[in-house]
Amino acid sequence: MASGFFALLDDIAALMDDVSVMTKVAGKKTAGILGDDLAVNAEKASGFISSRELPVLWAITKGSLLNKVIILPVAFLLSAFVPAAITIILIFGGLYLAYEGAEKIYEYFFPHAHASEKPVLEELSEEEVLAREKGKIKSAVLTDFILSVEIIIIALGTVATQVLSTQIIVVTIIALIATVGVYGIVALIIRMDEFGAKLIDFNDSEDSFSDKIGKFLVSALPKVIKSLSIIGTIALLLVSGGIFSHNIDFLHGLFESIPSIIVEFLLGLVIGMIVLAIVSLGKKIWKSMSKK
């Protein structure tokens, strides 16, 4: 009886050891998309009235948790019964990520002309502000869903050879990190300027230490968000390129003399530009057909 109990403890310890190792591996594999997830959601959760930033972020976080609840069981079922579907989903997800990265680069060099400037928040009615919030929340949750699919599938791919119990625990941990960790950091980022303003008002003395720190935090927020956007774009192309090079046979081992990070970036960029050109052409054809 006692030996059976200790054998069970030994099995649990071995499982936890496997989980720890594989969670680190899966974390490294998904780091790029987590970085992009952070950049995207920091941008989407900002730009609101100060008192509404955290409620909006909480609404997005709840949507993200619901996304994970929907995606995780489907991913485990596919892994168990239709494993080939995982690779197909990965490649399609890679195409989407490459497209997103290429579109951001194209937009940077050839920005779209905006017909009119968006009204500032003070000019909007309460109903318009709430409608704007709902629209941004819905957009953020949809983006989170797409990125969550990729995060979970990539994490699942790293533990595909492990037993089902290890797969479930590792991928669930990564999914929780993708929500709790990412949105926790986003909350700190979007409240950075608010904290800075409180430091500035902390005392009446001019140019005090708290004033300097506060002014730095206030001025740093837009730069941090912009930096995250750039890092996220690079991460999109690297992750997508990695997906293509590891899951498409004739691309695997391509240009072995060149560092893999450069090859993956260029693969993501080239394929992303091709997808962007196809999508743009499709939109033009659709518009011309709809006018007739």
pLDDT the model gives residue 289 = 81
Overall size of the chain counted in residues: 292
For the record, the structure tokens of 5 come out as 């109990």
- What are the pLDDT digits (tens) for 59-114? 888 988 999 999 889 888 887 788 788 788 878 888 888 898 899 899 888 876 54
| Cβ atoms of 221 and 189 closer than 8 Å | yes
What is the distance of C-alpha 252 from the center of its chain?
25
Q: Domain boundaries in the chain?
A: 15-113+120-195+224-291
pLDDT the model gives residue 9 = 41
Q: How many CA atoms lie within 13 A of 190 on its CB side?
A: 26
Question: In whole angstroms, what is the distance from residue 242 CA to residue 24 CA?
Answer: 18
For the purposes of burial, counting CB atoms within 10 Å of the CB of 64, is it exposed (0-12), middle (13-18) or buried (19 or more)?
A: buried
Question: In whole angstroms, what is the distance from residue 143 CA to residue 63 CA?
Answer: 11
pLDDT the model gives residue 211 = 79
pLDDT the model gives residue 167 = 81
For the purposes of burial, counting CB atoms within 10 Å of the CB of 1, is it exposed (0-12), middle (13-18) or buried (19 or more)?
A: exposed
pLDDT the model gives residue 274 = 95
Mean pLDDT confidence for 178-193 = 80
Q: What's the whole-number average pLDDT of the chain?
A: 76
Question: In whole angstroms, what is the distance from residue 127 CA to residue 48 CA?
Answer: 14
pLDDT the model gives residue 40 = 66
| Cβ atoms of 269 and 66 closer than 8 Å | no
**Alpha-carbon distance values, 35 to 40, 180, 191, 234 (Å):** 9, 14, 19, 10
- What are the pLDDT digits (tens) for 18-63? 566 666 656 666 666 676 667 666 666 666 666 677 788 888 889 8
pTM of the entire structure?
Answer: 0.69
| Cβ atoms of 39 and 229 closer than 8 Å | yes
- What are the pLDDT digits (tens) for 99-154? 988 998 998 888 765 444 444 545 556 676 677 778 878 877 887 887 788 788 87
Outline where DSSP puts E strands in 58-156: none
- Among residues of the chain, what percentage have pLDDT more than 90? 8
